[in-house]
Amino acid sequence: MISIAHAATEGGPAEPFYLTPEFWVAVSFVLFVALVARKVWKILTTALDARAAGIAQSIEEARQLRAEAQSALAEIQRKQREALKDAQSIVEMARAEAERLRKRSEEELAASLVLRERQAMDRIGQAEKQATAEVRNLAVDVAIAAARQVLQQQIDPAKAGELVDQAIAQLPARMN
């Protein structure tokens, strides 16, 4: 048994496809998907554009930070080189100052030694003069004593008085 509806479709004139409900469901589905896809596409592209802009901004910030870090590194390296140069110049100045002080100390020591040697020589000279004067005075005293003894033994007293007067007269000339 064939049903009437089925029988009508099999043998009867066929309906055009655009009059079928399946066609209109398909058309409405395509329109719905197109409208929804358009709005979703807009939202997705806006979100992706915003994310791309954020990433681009992050990249630019990273570039700026890298540039700042490189300039800071270059500045630190420059300061380090300057500090090394300063340290080297300070060491060189200290060495030069030490050398200058060493030479100055040597010169002062040499001058001090020369001065002490001169003072010692002066003291020796004074001691020699003093010793010579003492020896001379002692020799004079001994000579006077010996002369007195010889004169007392060999010269008579009248002649002795005359000799003493002559010696006294000649004394100022001999003292100079």
* Total number of domains in the chain: 1
Is residue 155 helix, strand or coil? coil
Q: Which domain holds residue 132?
A: 14-175
Structure tokens at 167: 């010696």
- pLDDT for 9: 52
pTM score above 0.75? no
CA distances, 94 to each of 81, 99, 101, 102 (Å): 20, 8, 10, 12
Which 8-state DSSP code applies to residue 2? Answer: -
Is residue 116 helix, strand or coil? helix
Residue 1 belongs to a domain: no
Residue 146 belongs to a domain: yes
Integer Cα distance of 13 and 76 in angstroms: 93
- pLDDT for 11: 54
- Give the contacts of 23 (CB within 8 A, at least 6 positions apart): 17
Residue 28 belongs to a domain: yes
Beta strands in 37-135 (DSSP E): none
Residue 2 belongs to a domain: no
CA distances, 148 to each of 1, 137, 163 (Å): 201, 16, 12
Residue 99 belongs to a domain: yes
Give me the tens of pLDDT residue by residue for the chain, a chain 176 residues long: 444 444 445 555 678 888 899 999 999 999 999 889 889 989 999 999 999 999 999 999 999 999 999 999 999 999 999 999 999 999 999 999 999 999 999 999 999 999 999 999 999 999 988 888 888 888 788 878 877 777 677 777 777 777 778 888 887 777 76
Integer Cα distance of 88 and 82 in angstroms: 10
